[in-house]
Structure 1
Amino acid sequence: MPLIEIACFDVKSALIASEAGADRIELCDNADVGGTTPPLEWLYVTQGVVKCPVNVMIRPRGGNFVYTNSEFDAMKNAVQGLKSSRMVDGFVFGVLHDTQTIDIERTTELVNLADPLPCTFHRAFDEAKDLPQALEDVISCGIKTILTSGGASTASQGTVRLAQLAKNAGDRIVIMPGGGVRSSNIDSLEKETRAGIYHSSALLDTDTLANAQEIKNLRARLHQEP
């Protein structure tokens, strides 16, 4: 049965998502820049209260995904520190070269630091100039999941590419559609892509917190009988 991952930009959203039935949470700070590494203190609050796995964003700043040496050192330190806290279930990050290709060396280094916790390559993937090649590059790094809109602005606009990526990926890596995923379109996305997990912030209109009813609706639409 397909799963729902909810992107949560504060502790309260994480608690709401857990109670509403999220299968996994992506915890990050600074929604206005698309997410950055959250404070360790947030995990002390969610520990033992959130009932589903919590993956943590590793991103030192907003903007592009080409990092300086000092920024990459901060990412490595964050992975090591959060892993040693034993309060996270996985990591989410993405590293590119300025040529719009996957930085295989740095991505692999982060994966190795995170081991045995699983890692997701986030929507930095959609900025790669050659998505089929980027898929192979990410797979070679030991990443378990790719969060992607198929190179489009939203998953709904990228369904054809998402379906092709999922076909090319086979059982080598999980393709997780994300970007504008809501209860109003998740059933059509599932029909077109046949993905096993979907990513949504569950924010509606002017919401700043995850919307509990929207999460329940996402689950209901995804799990409805054909």
Structure 2
Amino acid sequence: MPNHPFKIEICVEGTDGLMAAQNAGADRVELCASLIEGGLTPSLGVIREALRVATIPFHVIIRPRGGDFLYSEVEFNSMVEDIKALRDMGTVAGVVIGCLTADGKIDEDRTRALVEAARPMAVTCHRAFDMTADYRAAIEALVRCGVDRVLTSGQRDTAIEGSDILKDTMAIAAGRIVIMACGELDAANIAQVRQSTGVDEMHFAALKTLKSTMEFRNPHVGMGGTAIEREYEVTVTDTEAVRATIAAARAAL
């Protein structure tokens, strides 16, 4: 059983998503850009505006690009600089990081350096953890590095599929690091995952797609290599879905 208050974090893109999540009763937000790529570091302008409107804590993802978690020296340096900029603001609650070695281990040197740069902010390891070769060894590495929590779907696409590993991860963690479950959680399955795994915290993105209100549309161009239809869609956080999923999770135990 968790030994601290159960919390629910919502993964959002930008300040509109943050406000939707906090209005729906979230405890905390993970603030990202480009969720279509799994979440990238948002701009300082977005972060400053988030600080202005936030009524709940938010953690900022520090991820310079999509793809794997094996970063060049220049990419890693940019992560350190992003963290220092957030730390200097003095009001950001936490950061979300993840660095691996080529053989699928937690990069302890880099993780420790990012943790040291971040303090006193909280530090979460994101789903880079789910791409490690040995989740048991990865937990021990994160504990050694002083990471506060890890976000995981149990090394599977969904938390339902990863429930056994999530439960084992909780046992290995033994209260030394917070285990936060994710992986296509919604109002229909979140209670089952909470009951079967006993995780400390839960994390999800409740997204919906809206049609653009643009009146003029150029049928010949899709920006950034996307399908033309995507140019005229907007993905937002669904307040009602967040509220319903939170209610289902809190009713589970």
- The TM tier, using the shorter chain, reads over 0.9
Distance verdict in 2 for CA 1:162–1:225, change over 3 Å = closer
- SS class of match (1:208): strand
What is the correspondence of 1:77-88 to structure 2 with a 5 Å cutoff?
77-88=81-92
Match status 1:139 vs 2:166: no
- Distance in 2 between residues matched to 1:41 and 1:224, nearest whole Å: 37
| Count of residues in correspondence between the two structures | 226
Deviation string, structure 1 residues 109-152 (Cα, Å, up to 9, x no partner): 00000011110000000010111111101111000000001110
What is the correspondence of 1:1-226 to structure 2 with a 5 Å cutoff?
1-204=5-208, 208-224=235-251, 226=253
Q: Normalising by the residue count of structure 1, what TM-score does the alignment of the two structures yield?
A: 0.96
Structure 2 segments unaligned to the other structure (5+ residues): 211-233
Q: Which amino acid aligns with 2:27?
A: D
CA-CA distance at 1:18 after TM superposition: 1.1
CA-CA distance at 1:156 after TM superposition: 1.2
Q: CA RMSD in A?
A: 1.4
The alignment-based identity, stated in percent, is: 35
CA-CA distance at 1:196 after TM superposition: 2.1
Q: Normalising by the residue count of structure 2, what TM-score does the alignment of the two structures yield?
A: 0.86
4+ runs of 1 displaced by more than 2 Å?
Answer: 204-207
Q: Which amino acid aligns with 2:13?
A: F
- SS class of match (1:102): coil
CA contact 2:159–2:182 (8 Å) conserved in 1: yes
CA contact 1:159–1:189 (8 Å) conserved in 2: yes
CA-CA distance at 1:48 after TM superposition: 3.6
Q: Which amino acid aligns with 2:7?
A: L
- Distance in 2 between residues matched to 1:200 and 1:127, nearest whole Å: 18
